[in-house]
Amino acid sequence: MTVPRTDAGRGKPAPPGGGLIPFPAVDEVSRHCLSADEPESVHLEVHLPGRLDPARLRDAFGQALLAHPRVLVREVPGRGHRRSYAWELTGEPDGDPVDFAGRGPGALARARARALADCPPLTVSPPMRLDVVEAVGGTAVPEPPAEAGRAGGGTGTVLLLTAHHTALDAPSALRVLATTAERYSGTPARPIPGRIRPDRPDPAPGGSGGTGRALRTRPVRVAPDARPAPVRARAAGNGMLQADLPVPRRAAPAGSVPPWTVNDQLLAAAALTVGRWNASRGRPPGPVRITMPVDDRPRGTEMPMGNGTRLVEVAMTAEDPRDTDLLLGERPDPAAVARLLRTTARRTRDLKATRGSPWGAGAGLLTVPLLPVGIRGVLTRGARRAAAPWTSTVLVTNLGRVPYGLDFGDGGRATAVWFSAPARMPRGLSVAAASTGGRLHVTLRWSRALLGDAAGADLAGLFREALSAVSLAPPPHSAPAAPALSPDLAPARSDGPARSDGPARPDGPARPDGPQTEPDATAGAVDGAVDGEADARAPAARDRARSPGGPHPRDTPRPDTAPGAAHPTRDHRERPS
């Protein structure tokens, strides 16, 4: 079979075993809504303590691509009158997807900027690229001190994988890197435990968790920064800030499991962050809705590649409206935070137990191949503009504890895994988290049409405070914890490096600090939550509530927004890209 090609492969016959795969609904909607101003890129970073052999790495990555042939696809070219888009399986890469980005303090910053601004084309197989950045003298990749038997002390490598989100999601990209590590080190793949989903015999709510009142009300938007509206409208691209934090504590009564997951704590922290951010800018409080990807796929070598997550919306509203002032005060009331966490845990368990289409019935209707793709694209973009006021407030995606060893042999095991999801308007903000070596690696990514880099750094400081507040929430039937900020979660100051733990254990990434662990924050394990008993201390706590939008510490360092400005050693910890 011979298929006309674009620049990537014009006139080349399809490789042996090649075939066509019609775009799933998620891929087609993403393809219709692509914009050059806000690239639809997924950025994934794996930090290693040692250096890698370039030839071995290139060969291992090529073998990983062959082991996952669904990644080796490119879009079949065609005109707008065709009935559907299609992926073509190529069987081999169209070119070399590995790029050695060089060394030096600016190499990692440039690779990150490229990941946010330059999406791999859909016309080239595979629609991803791997940038390899080496650290020399500790100038680009600060790592924990060297331990016996492993590399360290100024050498390190960052593998930065950028994928087009129309074709692949973050779990697929991470699975490709895990296979690359297995091929590079020569170690066989170890069994990966499956996800746990709670059984729910009665029908679960479809589409969104929460009360009907919250679902009928438009969600609040993240308030833009103080830049003039015309300046924001002309801004293009995304900003990004990464933080290395301890896994938040999950308190539980003696002899019981924690009533909420780390994923629930991230959702609550994101809701508190948006509420306090908007209150500090004079915006009235309102319902916050969070889009949360749920991944039901196996994570072993048999994992289906592509966009395999389904998106659900969680209404982050307190069941008692009087809790709003308690949550948005200068220091969120621990009892009110605990009530929000219990409500959130119940809603997320319901949503994770529900099976449905990734984007709901609306996306399926828009992608029915009755009309040409050109007309369907116009309808999809129009529907997206019409639905903008009801778009969720923020996207929170959590990979949980990374289930792969990511052992690159002489290059060492991964000490950190960061990733980020697109942050396109009208939502304009995404929060992504993964846990490795007992640390929580969080990435905030924002549209520059919404926030500048300085405002993004302030928002990240609020998120640290909010995550500290939810980690101090008391378990059911216990006294409330003191509302002081945890030292590890307080905004990092500019006079010292962010703390980082050692590498993962030999049998996989280390368990988080503390007695409670989070095997997979998106897995939705049954936690034995307490379903919203009234707290006897609530009236007195409400009387002591502070007004919303109180002063917030601003310890998060401001970025240097000058073009080409040099970034310090701690760039990947505390400064936007």
Rounded mean pLDDT of 304-328?
85
Are the beta carbons of 334 and 481 closer than 8 angstroms?
yes
Report pLDDT for 240.
95
Please give the residue that has the higher pLDDT: either 148 or 314: 314
Question: What is the average per-residue pLDDT within 184-205?
Answer: 64
Each residue of 451-484: pLDDT tens digit?
A: 999 999 999 999 999 999 898 878 765 444 433 3
Given this model, what pLDDT does residue 530 score?
Answer: 29
Confidence band (pLDDT; 50, 70, 90) for 128?
A: very high
Lowest mean pLDDT: which of 125-129, 179-183, 190-194, 506-510? 506-510
Of the candidates 571, 499, 569, 577, the one whose C-alpha atom is nearest the C-alpha of residue 247 is 499
Is the pLDDT at 259 greater than 90, yes or no?
A: no
Give pLDDT, residue 547.
38
pLDDT at 347 over 70: yes
Higher pLDDT, 384 or 189: 384
Q: What is the pLDDT of residue 494?
A: 32
Task: Give the pLDDT band (50/70/90) at residue 169.
Answer: very high
Q: Give the pLDDT score at 444.
A: 96
The pair phi, psi for residue 294, each rounded to 5°, is -125, 125
Q: Give 461's contacts (C-beta < 8 A, 6+ positions apart).
A: 491, 552, 553, 554, 555, 556
Question: How confident is residue 252, by pLDDT bands cut at 50, 70 and 90?
Answer: low
Whether residue 353 has pLDDT greater than 50: yes
Name residues whose C-beta falls within 8 Å of residue 418's C-beta, 6 or more positions apart in sequence: 44, 45, 47, 242, 432, 434, 441, 443, 572
DSSP string for 493-543: PTTSPPP-----BTTBSPPPSSS---S-TTT---------PPPTTHHHHHH
90 band by pLDDT with thresholds 50, 70 and 90: very high
Q: Considering only residues 399 and 331, tell me which one the structure prediction assigns the higher pLDDT.
A: 399
Give the integer Cα–Cα distance in Å for 378 and 357. 22
Whether this prediction's pTM lies above 0.85 is answered by no
Torsion of CA 400, 403, 409, 410, to 10 degrees: 10
pLDDT digits (tens, 9 = 90+) for 431-450: 999 998 889 999 999 999 99
Nearest to 415 by CA among 317, 500, 539: 500
Q: Please give the Cα distance from 173 to 181 (Å, whole number).
A: 13
How confident is the model over 227-242, as a mean pLDDT? 90
Calculate mean pLDDT across residues 169-180: 95
Instruction: Tell me what percent of the residues of the chain surpass a pLDDT of 70.
Output: 69
- The Cα-based distances of 25 to 29, 77, 166, 358, 424 in angstroms read 6, 18, 10, 8, 19
Average pLDDT, the chain: 75
Task: Find residue 208's DSSP bridge partners.
Answer: 313
Structure tokens, 151: 């590399």
Backbone φ/ψ region at 153: left (φ over 0), alpha (ψ -120 to 50), beta:
left
Predicted confidence at residue 101, as pLDDT, reads 79
- Residue 476's contacts (CB-CB under 8 Å, 6 or more residues apart) are 253, 259, 338, 342, 530, 533
Q: Choose from 205-214, 234-243, 495-504 the range with maximum mean pLDDT.
A: 234-243
Sorted by sequence, the CB contacts under 8 Å of residue 31 that are 6+ apart come out as 23, 75, 85, 122, 166, 377
pLDDT, position 262: 92
Higher pLDDT residue, 385 or 256? 385
pLDDT score of 506 more than 80 = no
pLDDT at 288 over 50: yes
Please state the rounded mean pLDDT for residues 248-276. 85
Contact 336, 318 (CB under 8 A): yes
In this predicted structure, the answer to whether residue 126 has a pLDDT above a threshold of 80 is yes
